[in-house]
């Protein structure tokens, strides 16, 4: 993203500058988290990368192609994109592949493999209403992984989950990522989660959203939560990031 700004028109008139002068480069295979106060434009940033919302100025590129709309190279995992309630787990996960013209047998075979990967092997025939929140979130992730996007755009995918399920899904996501090395943009409110998962954490400031810090997380991989909690570098990152988010004046901006 280069010089990206987003202005929304207010319904009562006037304009709201939601994001201002965002320069963000993410390398292929990198795991980058975005932290920032509510309303600073994190979701808007992901929507723009996804091609669902157009920037007001600036440009967005994936590889050497400008982003002009959604595409199979960028897989959204957004809470707003609910599962189809009338389709089973298998139907939901196979859906994107069927849409892409993959034959039913092949689509379902791939869907089954992904469902097993996210730990829902016995739930293929269940409907969303028969699943817990964490299970639905797993289905949503499998559904996006099914069409193998190079880039995952994840907007607080674990936000609504209990601590235990959240930890499990974080571990699952990390092992998937360590295997496939997809590029991940991951929005979260949890400093802890951001440090645990990421290569880099981008901190945004309050409205208009700007990037106020870009912190490299130099912790070795594969990461194990239990080990990290005792690691002084991990603790240092968490403390530093908490301070940055704490509405202090902007510091540490990368030129």
Ligand X SMILES: Nc1ncnc2c1ncn2[C@@H]1O[C@H](COP(=O)(O)OP(=O)(O)OP(=O)(O)O)[C@@H](O)[C@H]1O
Q: Which of residues 24-43 bind ligand X (CB under 6 A)?
A: 36, 38-43
Residues 6+ apart with CB under 8 A from 99: none
What's the min distance (Å) between Cβ of 130 and ligand X?
28
> How many residues lie near ligand X (CB under 6 A)?
12
Q: By C-beta, is 64 or 80 nearer to Mg ion?
A: 80
Which runs of E-coded beta strand occur in the chain?
2-9, 15-22, 31-35, 57-59, 61-62, 65-66, 74-77, 151-155, 183-187, 200-205, 210-216
Q: Are 33 and 188 in contact (CB under 8 A)?
A: yes
The secondary structure of residue 127, as a DSSP letter, is -
What's the min distance (Å) between Cβ of 121 and Mg ion?
32
Name which of ligand X, Mg ion, none residue 8 binds, using a CB cut-off of 5 to 8 Å depending on partner kind. ligand X
Structure tokens given for 51 = 């091609």
Q: By C-beta, is 42 or 110 nearer to ligand X?
A: 42
- Find the binder of ligand X among 20, 33, 44, 137 (CB under 6 A): 44
Q: By C-beta, is 5 or 43 nearer to Mg ion?
A: 43
Helix (H, G, I), strand (E, B) or coil at 96: helix
Query: How many residues are given for the chain?
Result: 255
Q: By C-beta, is 46 or 217 nearer to Mg ion?
A: 46
Name which of ligand X, Mg ion, none residue 68 binds, using a CB cut-off of 5 to 8 Å depending on partner kind. none
Site string for ligand X, 207-246 (x = CB under 6 A): x---------------------------------------
What's the min distance (Å) between Cβ of 8 and ligand X?
3
Applying CB under 6 A, does 54 fall inside the site for ligand X? no
Q: How far apart are CA 82 and CA 162, in angstroms?
A: 19
Q: How far apart are CA 37 and CA 234, in angstroms?
A: 22
- Find the binder of ligand X among 7, 8, 52, 190 (CB under 6 A): 8
Applying CB under 5 A, does 43 fall inside the site for Mg ion? yes
Q: How far apart are CA 253 and CA 23, in angstroms?
A: 11
Strand partners, 59: 2
Q: By C-beta, is 115 or 203 nearer to Mg ion?
A: 203
Burial 27-57 (b: 16+ CB within 10 A, else e): eeeebbbbbbbeebbbbbbbbbbbbbbebbe
Q: By C-beta, is 45 or 90 nearer to Mg ion?
A: 45
> How many residues lie near Mg ion (CB under 5 A)?
1
Q: By C-beta, is 89 or 194 nearer to Mg ion?
A: 194
Closest of 80, 77, 6, 12 to residue 41, by C-alpha: 6
What's the min distance (Å) between Cβ of 153 and Mg ion?
12
Residues forming contacts to ligand X in the complex (CB under 6 A) are 8, 16, 18, 36, 38-44, 207
Residues forming contacts to Mg ion in the complex (CB under 5 A) are 43
């Amino acid at each position: 993203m280069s010089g990206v700004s987003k202005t929304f028109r207010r319904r009562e008139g006037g304009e709201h500058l939601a994001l201002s002068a965002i320069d963000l480069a993410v390398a292929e295979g990198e795991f980058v988290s975005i932290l920032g106060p509510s309303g600073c434009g994190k979701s808007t940033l992901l929507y723009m990368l996804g091609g669902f919302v157009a920037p007001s100025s600036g440009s967005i590129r994936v590889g050497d192609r400008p982003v002009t709309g959604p595409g199979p190279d960028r897989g959204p995992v957004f809470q707003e994109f609910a599962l189809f309630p009338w389709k089973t787990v298998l139907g939901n996960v196979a859906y994107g592949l069927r849409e892409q013209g993959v034959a039913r047998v092949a689509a379902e075979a791939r869907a089954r493999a992904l469902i097993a990967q996210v730990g829902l092997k016995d739930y293929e025939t269940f409907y969303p209403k028969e699943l817990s929140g964490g299970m639905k979130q797993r289905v949503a992730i499998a559904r996006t992984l099914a069409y193998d996007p190079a880039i995952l755009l994840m907007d607080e995918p674990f936000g609504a989950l209990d601590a235990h399920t959240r930890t499990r899904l974080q571990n699952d996501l990390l092992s998937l990522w360590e295997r496939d090395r997809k590029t991940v943009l991951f929005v979260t409110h949890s400093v802890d989660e951001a440090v645990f998962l990421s290569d880099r954490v981008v901190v945004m400031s309050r409205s208009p959203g700007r990037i106020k810090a870009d912190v490299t997380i130099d912790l070795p991989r594969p990461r194990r939560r239990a080990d990290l909690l005792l690691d002084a570098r991990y603790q240092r990152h968490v403390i530093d990031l908490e301070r940055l988010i704490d509405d202090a004046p902007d510091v540490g901006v990368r030129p």
